[in-house]
Amino acid sequence: MTTVTLQYFAQLREQAGTSGEQLVTSAGSLRELYDELRTRHGFSLPVEALKVAVNAQFSDWGRAFGEGDTIVFIPPVAGG
């Protein structure tokens, strides 16, 4: 089991009802982790619509994560 910190923004923050949480997870990949959170919080966005950042750096979905990492799933952006 791995303990990670999650931060939520925009629609994910609203749907989770919080801007962040710590989670003990058995997920073996970032994709599995999002699936777990989607079930837990009822996120409407499919994983294909998201990017992901680990420890404040954009990461590819194949990246491993470890104890204490901060993970942010990034909904479609709209700056400018």
Partner 1 sequence: MKHFSLSGVAVDPAQLRTALQHPDSGGFCAFEGWVRNSNEGREVDGLEYEAYAELALAEGERIVDEAIARYGVIAAHCMHRIGHLKVGELAVWIGVSSAHRDEAFRACRYIIDEIKHRLPIWKKEHYLDGDTAWVACAHTHGAHEPMQPARDRAPG
Query: What is the binding site for partner 1 (CB under 8 A)?
Result: 7, 9-11, 13, 53, 56-58, 72, 74-80
Tell me the C-alpha distance between 8 and 14, whole Å: 8
The CB-of-33 to partner 1 minimum distance in angstroms stands at 17
The CB-of-71 to partner 1 minimum distance in angstroms stands at 12
Given the complex with partner 1, which of 33 and 72 has the nearer CB atom? 72
Given the complex with partner 1, which of 24 and 56 has the nearer CB atom? 56
**Is 35 exposed, middle or buried, given 0-12, 13-18 or 19+ CB atoms closer than 10 A?**
middle
Please answer whether residues 20 and 44 qualify as being in contact, where contact means their C-beta atoms are separated by less than 8 angstroms.
Answer: no
